[in-house]
A = this chain, B = another copy of it.
Amino acid sequence: MRNLCGSAGAVPGACAVNICKGDSKMRVYNFSAGPSTLPLNVLERARDEFLDFAGTGMSVTEISHRDKAFSAVVEDAEALVRELLNVPEDYAVIFVQGGASTQFAAIPLNLMHNGKADYIVTGNFAKKAWQEGQIYGDAVKIGDSSDRTYTYIPDVDELPYSQDADYVHITSNNTIFGSRYAKFPECKAPLVADMSSEIFSREIDVSKFGVIYAGAQKNLAPAGVTIVIAKRSLIQDPLKICPTMLKWKVQDDNGSLYNTPPCFSIYMADLVLRDLKEKGGVKAANEKAEYKAGLLYDFIDNSSLFKNNVEKPFRSIMNVPFVTPSAELDAKFIAEAKKAGLVSLKGHRLVGGMRASIYNAMPVEGVKALIAFMQKFEQENK
């Protein structure tokens, strides 16, 4: 925990932080997998201007999405996505609703013209995307790492890609199991990637992808907005049964303002993107992420109590699952960590154990505080 007013606290392995002057509440280190911790300066700014957005005399939650003061935010957010990810001009960048789970349907509904697509199933959400694809056509599972509990990524050079697939779908980082693609498939069909839990933490060549999409509630913004980056030539002819709101072309043609967008989440995304740019962009974010993850994996690998089961080349730098030898000790760890201001460390119900999600907004100090706490816990529970 950190004292937002500056003075260090007394919690061992963490530093206490008052939210503001005269307030005894603490700001915790939040390791939630999403929604997740956001940059403190962004939160403070949003709070400070919450009743008066851009001098309009209205809250950003009240202003018309057609007001120039707000549409400027959408334009700015789109421009920042383009700049920070170096998105080619012939790609749409849109903000939509419904999370990645809604995109699981939007993908075949926009792209599955020949009725066939390849899916590489490397985790829970990859599996859900594949299952949703089956509603609309022949969704072929060409890779599957469930045999070892999704702790690795299949060799993408050796997969049986279909010759006539409309696209190949991957989940680039597995939030629940803590693995990620070290190398992306190089396939004939357009590559479609769910990057929800790693977008803006890793430098990517967008031109190698047909579509990139991401729920914002991890590295980008509060929940409620999903970003889709799609090569325009691929999205001109959605299936007839595609709901209008799921047609990427419609959203692109209307600058993400076809209907009322999730204004507050887009506004927050814009602030986070500005903050990201000021801090050095995706390159700097990646270096910080690699550093934080390195600290945590190094500690775990040298620990006699904690263990991470993901194969090293595929370890996520965003989501780090770990376990002790027993479920009882895991529960004890989670409870005691929470008391020390290190919260949302419980692993997903499909995996159990612990998971530290260390997204862009998690400070290095938060990871160091977690490691210090783990050291102490290990000493006390040998």
Give the interface of A toward B (CB within 8 A). Answer: 1, 4, 19-20, 23, 25-28, 30, 32-38, 43-44, 46-47, 50-52, 55-59, 61-65, 67, 97-102, 104-106, 109, 132, 135-136, 215, 217, 222-225, 240-241, 243-246, 258-265, 268, 341, 343-344
Contacts and interface: CB of A to CB of B under 8 A. Distances in A.
Contacts of A35: 61-65, 260, 263
Given A57-B1, A57-B27, A222-B61, A19 B243 contact: no
Nearest to A31: B64
Nearest to A217: B260
Given A50-B46, A57-B25, A58-B28, A260 B63 contact: no
A32 B64 contact: yes
Nearest to A67: B344
A91 to B, nearest CB: 23
B135 A240 contact: yes
A222 to B, nearest CB: 4
B265 A262 contact: yes
A47 B51 contact: yes
Contacts of A20: 51
Q: What DSSP secondary structure best describes chain A's contact surface?
A: loop
Given A46-B50, A223-B263, A26 B101 contact: no
Contacts of A65: 35, 223
B30 A58 contact: yes
Nearest to A29: B57
Given A52-B27, A57-B341, A223 B98 contact: no
A52 to B, nearest CB: 5
Instruction: Count the copies.
Output: 2
A78 to B, nearest CB: 18
A46 B222 CA distance: 15
28 contacts: A19-B51, A20-B51, A30-B62, A34-B260, A35-B61, A35-B263, A36-B62, A46-B50, A56-B343, A61-B223, A61-B268, A62-B222, A65-B223, A97-B98, A97-B99, A99-B259, A100-B259, A101-B258, A102-B243, A102-B246, A104-B245, A105-B245, A217-B260, A222-B263, A223-B261, A223-B262, A241-B241, A264-B265
Given A263-B222, A264-B224, A265-B224, A136 B241 contact: yes
Nearest to A33: B64
Nearest to A131: B244
Contacts of A47: 47, 50-51
A56 to B, nearest CB: 7
A29 B265 CA distance: 24
A44 B51 contact: yes
A265 B97 CA distance: 12
Nearest to A60: B222
A51 B23 CA distance: 11
Given A34-B260, A97-B262, A224-B225, 15 more contacts: A1-B57, A25-B55, A32-B63, A34-B64, A35-B61, A37-B62, A58-B343, A64-B344, A65-B223, A67-B344, A97-B102, A98-B98, A217-B263, A224-B224, A264-B265
Given A34-B64, A224-B97, A51 B43 contact: yes
Contacts of A67: 32, 344
Contacts of A37: 58, 62
A30, A46, A260, A343 interface centre (most CB from chain B within 10 Å): A260
Contact of A98 (B27, B28, B44, B102): B102
